[in-house]
């Protein structure tokens, strides 16, 4: 059968490429060794064209996607002599990457001797060396402290491992058997992806494949240009704040400025704080990613996402800001700034498309690493926890409860999985009542997870939103702040800083309490039946129902309509 490059074939090839990327992701999850890969799914996979532009991505961690094309373009400038079976790795944030724990893998796809594409993946590693076990510590001051920084290195040549490179990495990380097995899983995933892309090309022919992917990128660009054209021209601004940088106890400002004219959007970060001493700085690919992510969500979360999608959105940034640092600034905790870019971008766009945005989320990444010696095996272990908080209320729905950060969308670590592999006991795992901001639509509730340690551990972490609450929109109220509480309800109870490193003794209990999220619309406009349901389900207290929502409930939990009317009339008058 003869195929031709037309809109139908383009869509068939589009979904074929998306299936390849998604299958790569789930293969990586099934073959990975560490919690961050096989449980949390802190990974992403993509197919790129021969110039490094995105053709398709897996429906996994969005924040990781945007570094792959930028890194691939740098790779094409610097790496010569690519051959069949090569696997190139890179984790350098200043060459397009994220932070040093996120290792990127690239494999070239050749067809009839011609380089036609790349398959790529990225995964959060258990440890990449550096000053702190697990590598996730906030407050480090230079990238040199954060771990082993690799530019473009051939880990495999012609399908064969480079044992010298493996040896170098092994000698610089703490639990090499798990990390290097994850490396091999990543390499196997790209090799498998190469075969799948070749099969797709063989079916449709190289000419049709290349013409169809060109049409696909043009299609993505056309959708976004049309959407921007339908938005009002103008200049819009959104601002959010980080608590601190882990070094200096002062807030840091993130400002996003959006300029819309015709079918082009220009975004810059002027007004943001200078790059920080602590390692909350956001590499350029990450900062761009925060903008792109919001626009995909606003225009159509289900639309095609490729390099054409982002052409009408021009992201500009001056070097030396927290949103575009220069070496040797540390970047491990960059997700704290990335999420604030997203929140500020949503605030700016709420002035443009109020019915297409959500209220403020927990707006941070609560990432914890615990490392010690397992009392049963006598061997080192490293346990990673990434927990979710409240997601912002939507124009017509409540915010989802217990959801990860906007740009992550990670899965949680099941209690059983954590306890099976690590000397810990999860004593509480629950939603926090009243953590979602009241509104016509309520903000999502945050999570509490209490972890008892059965051995001494080094605890490294970065999180945020202990000082600044998640924003409400259009009369919706703010969500709650987060807390890290050591040994709660004991004489030794202590509130811990959001970023840092310290030693915990066996028997210690750490209570991770995530921030909530903002509400959307005035709370007194919420359906009293929904408030009643929230009270019955334990999501909203009786006090909040009355004070925040103006809903009075009788002892049998039925709505007292007369008292509710009186309360709400008073709230409306005072608004």
CA–CA separation, 48 and 28 (whole Å): 18
Q: 82 falls in which pLDDT band (50, 70, 90)?
A: very high
CA–CA separation, 35 and 17 (whole Å): 27
pLDDT at 266: 98
From its phi and psi, is residue 557 left (phi > 0), alpha (psi between -120 and 50) or beta? left
The answer to whether 128 touches 211, Cβ cutoff 8 Å, is: no
Q: Which two tokens stand for residue 337?
A: 């700034």
The answer to whether 240 touches 467, Cβ cutoff 8 Å, is: no
The answer to whether 484 touches 495, Cβ cutoff 8 Å, is: yes
pLDDT in tens, 375-399: 999 999 999 999 889 999 999 999 9
The answer to whether 360 touches 343, Cβ cutoff 8 Å, is: yes
pLDDT at 133: 85
Average pLDDT, the chain: 96
Q: Output the CA angle 139-143-149, nearest 5 degrees.
A: 140
pLDDT in tens, 138-182: 999 999 999 999 999 999 999 999 999 999 999 999 999 999 999
> What spatial distance separates the first Cα and last Cα of the chain, rounded to whole Å?
68
- Pinpoint the alpha helices (H) of 147-205: 163-170, 176-204
How buried is residue 337: exposed, middle or buried, by Cβ count under 10 Å (0-12/13-18/19+)?
Answer: buried
Phi and psi of 479, rounded to 5°?
A: -85, 180
pLDDT at 77: 96
pLDDT in tens, 334-358: 999 999 999 999 999 999 999 999 9
Q: 575 falls in which pLDDT band (50, 70, 90)?
A: confident
Mean pLDDT of 322-342: 97
How big is the chain, counted in residues? 575
List of residues 6+ apart from 301 with CB closer than 8 A = none
Closest CA to 14 of 48, 53, 55, 44: 55
């Amino acid at each position: 059968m003869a195929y031709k490059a037309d809109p139908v074939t383009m869509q068939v090839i589009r979904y074929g490429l998306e299936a390849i990327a998604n299958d790569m992701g789930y293969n990586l999850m099934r073959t990975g060794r560490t919690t961050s890969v096989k449980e949390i799914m802190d990974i992403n996979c993509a197919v790129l064209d021969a110039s490094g532009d995105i053709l398709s991505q897996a429906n996994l961690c969005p924040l990781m996607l945007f570094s792959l094309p930028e890194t691939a373009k740098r790779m094409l400038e610097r790496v010569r002599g690519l051959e069949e079976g090569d696997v190139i790795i890179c984790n350098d944030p200043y060459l397009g990457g994220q932070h040093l724990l996120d290792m990127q893998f690239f494999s070239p796809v050749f067809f009839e001797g011609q380089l036609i594409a790349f398959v790529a993946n990225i995964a959060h590693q258990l440890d990449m060396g550096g000053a702190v076990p697990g590598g996730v510590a906030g407050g480090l001051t230079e990238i040199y402290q954060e771990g082993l920084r690799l530019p473009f290195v051939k880990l495999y040549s012609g399908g064969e491992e480079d044992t010298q490179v493996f040896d170098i990495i092994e000698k610089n990380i703490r639990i090499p058997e798990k990390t290097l097995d994850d490396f091999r899983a990543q390499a196997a995933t790209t090799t498998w992806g190469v075969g799948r892309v070749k099969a797709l090309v063989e079916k449709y022919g190289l000419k049709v494949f290349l013409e169809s992917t060109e049409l696909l990128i043009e299609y993505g660009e056309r959708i976004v240009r049309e959407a921007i054209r339908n938005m009002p021209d103008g200049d819009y601004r959104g601002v959010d704040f980080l608590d601190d940088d882990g070094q200096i106890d002062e807030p840091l400002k993130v400002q996003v400025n959006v300029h819309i004219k015709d079918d082009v959007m220009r975004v810059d970060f002027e007004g943001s704080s200078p790059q920080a001493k602590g390692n909350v700085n956001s590499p350029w690919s990450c900062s761009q990613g925060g903008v792109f992510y919001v626009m995909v969500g606003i225009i159509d979360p289900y639309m095609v996402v490729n390099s054409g999608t982002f052409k009408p959105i021009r992201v500009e940034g001056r070097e030396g800001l927290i949103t575009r640092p220069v070496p040797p600034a540390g970047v491990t905790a960059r997700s704290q700034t990335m999420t604030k870019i997203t929140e500020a971008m949503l605030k700016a766009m709420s002035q443009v498309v109020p019915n297409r945005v959500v209220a403020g989320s927990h707006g941070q990444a609560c990432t914890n690493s615990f490392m010690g010696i397992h009392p049963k095996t006598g061997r080192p272990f490293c346990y990673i926890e990434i927990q979710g908080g409240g997601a912002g209320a939507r124009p017509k729905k409540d915010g989802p409860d217990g959801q990860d950060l906007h740009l992550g969308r990670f899965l949680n670590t099941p209690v059983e999985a954590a306890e099976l592999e690590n000397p810990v006991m999860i004593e509480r795992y629950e939603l926090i009542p009243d953590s979602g901001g009241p509104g016509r639509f309520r903000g999502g509730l945050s999570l509490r997870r209490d972890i008892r340690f059965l051995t001494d551990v080094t605890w490294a972490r970065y999180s945020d939103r202990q000082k600044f609450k998640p924003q409400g929109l259009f009369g919706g109220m703010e969500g709650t702040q987060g807390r890290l509480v050591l040994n709660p309800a004991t004489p030794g109870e202590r509130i811990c800083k959001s970023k840092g490193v310290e030693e915990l003794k066996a028997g210690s209990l750490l209570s991770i309490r995530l921030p909530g999220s903002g509400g959307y619309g005035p709370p007194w406009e919420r359906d009293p039946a929904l408030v009643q349901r929230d009270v019955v389900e334990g999501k909203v207290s009786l006090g909040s129902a009355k004070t925040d929502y103006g809903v009075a409930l009788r002892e049998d939990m039925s709505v007292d309509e007369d008292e509710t009317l009186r309360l709400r009339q008073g709230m409306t008058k005072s608004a």
